[in-house]
């Protein structure tokens, strides 16, 4: 099945008949079965599905962290499939931002240094206006000189968000960004992600299994057993939950 969305805007990331197979023979697991999807520029897309549905795998393949068995993946104009390590590194530097469930900040660096790290690695100077905007939006002005250990979980994740945003990547991939946060901090982070899409035209692809989190997105793509099975535009927590419930039943029967 193919998701037929995204005609109205140019795609920031695209998967074309992507297959991902692990192992071989008896132990073979098919994580993705011919997934094709487009993620439009300037939109906030959530990928949902029960555990084992392949949602994380899809995101890893899209971001160039994992190779695909068949099919192609592209970020903007760049075809990711077939790039070597140097190409992938450059892609990650210039086109992609990441937000992880475990924040993944460097403990030795201050918040500010963490935020600027991707730029310093690439040897680029931050755009001062944009940097100020990002700092303003994440609300960390007075915490910039703190080290991660001195920040709360929510604050750490906001630093991670700022780090992803500051280099203005083509697309930001967020992997369960609220998975390790309490609901209030989670809501803050999600609001912040939604605002960066609405106000600054950022593209975000977020993997989550939390319907409340998915409801912050503009669009939700549902995966089950490695295939895109459904999608919602302008979702609410209720509609997402309903869709999930419908998905669960056949999936269990299938097992």
Q: Which positions lie near another protein, rule CB under 8 A? A: 56, 60, 65-66, 85-86, 89-90, 92-94, 97-98, 100-102, 104, 106-109, 117-118, 120-123, 149, 163, 175-176, 179
Name which of 118 and 226 has its Cβ closer to another protein.
Answer: 118
Name which of 109 and 241 has its Cβ closer to another protein.
Answer: 109
- Cα–Cα separations (whole angstroms), residue 179 to 61, 143, 192, 217: 21, 23, 16, 16
CB of 113 to another protein, least distance (A): 9
**Partners of 206 in the β-ladder:** 46, 174
CB of 14 to another protein, least distance (A): 20
Alpha-carbon dihedral sign for residues 112, 114, 116, 121: positive
Which pair of tokens denotes residue 223? 């995966």
> Please, which residues have CB within 8 angstroms of residue 81's CB and are 6 or more apart in sequence?
67, 68, 71, 72, 73, 74
CB of 242 to another protein, least distance (A): 27
CB of 57 to another protein, least distance (A): 10
E strands of 100-226, at which residues? 171-175, 204-207, 219-224
Taking the CB of residue 30, how many other CB atoms lie within 10 A of it?
Answer: 16
Name which of 166 and 190 has its Cβ closer to another protein.
Answer: 166
Name which of 118 and 211 has its Cβ closer to another protein.
Answer: 118
CB of 137 to another protein, least distance (A): 20
Name which of 110 and 243 has its Cβ closer to another protein.
Answer: 110
């Amino acid at each position: 099945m193919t998701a037929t969305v995204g005609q109205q805007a140019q795609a920031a990331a695209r998967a074309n008949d992507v297959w991902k197979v692990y192992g071989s023979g008896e132990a073979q697991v098919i994580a993705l079965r011919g997934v094709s999807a487009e993620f439009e520029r300037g939109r906030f897309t959530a990928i949902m599905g029960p555990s084992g549905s392949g949602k994380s795998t899809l995101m890893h393949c899209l971001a160039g962290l994992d190779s695909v068995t068949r099919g192609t993946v592209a970020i903007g104009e760049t075809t990711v499939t077939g790039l070597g390590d140097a190409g992938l590194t450059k892609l990650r530097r210039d086109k992609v931002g990441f937000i992880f469930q475990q924040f993944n900040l460097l403990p030795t660096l201050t918040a500010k240094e963490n935020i600027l790290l991707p730029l310093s690695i690439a040897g680029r100077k931050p755009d001062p206006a944009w940097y100020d905007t990002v700092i303003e939006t994440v609300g960390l002005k007075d915490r910039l000189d703190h080290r991660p250990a001195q920040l709360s979980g929510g604050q750490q994740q906001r630093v991670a968000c700022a780090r992803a945003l500051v280099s203005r990547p083509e697309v930001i991939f967020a992997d369960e960004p609220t998975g390790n946060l309490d609901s209030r901090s989670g809501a803050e982070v999600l609001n912040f992600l939604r605002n960066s899409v609405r106000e600054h035209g950022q593209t975000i692809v977020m993997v989550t299994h939390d319907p409340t989190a998915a409801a912050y997105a503009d669009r939700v793509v549902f995966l089950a057993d490695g295939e895109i099975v459904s999608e919602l535009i302008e979702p609410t927590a209720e509609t997402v939950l309903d869709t999930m419930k419908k998905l669960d039943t056949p999936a269990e029967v299938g097992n």
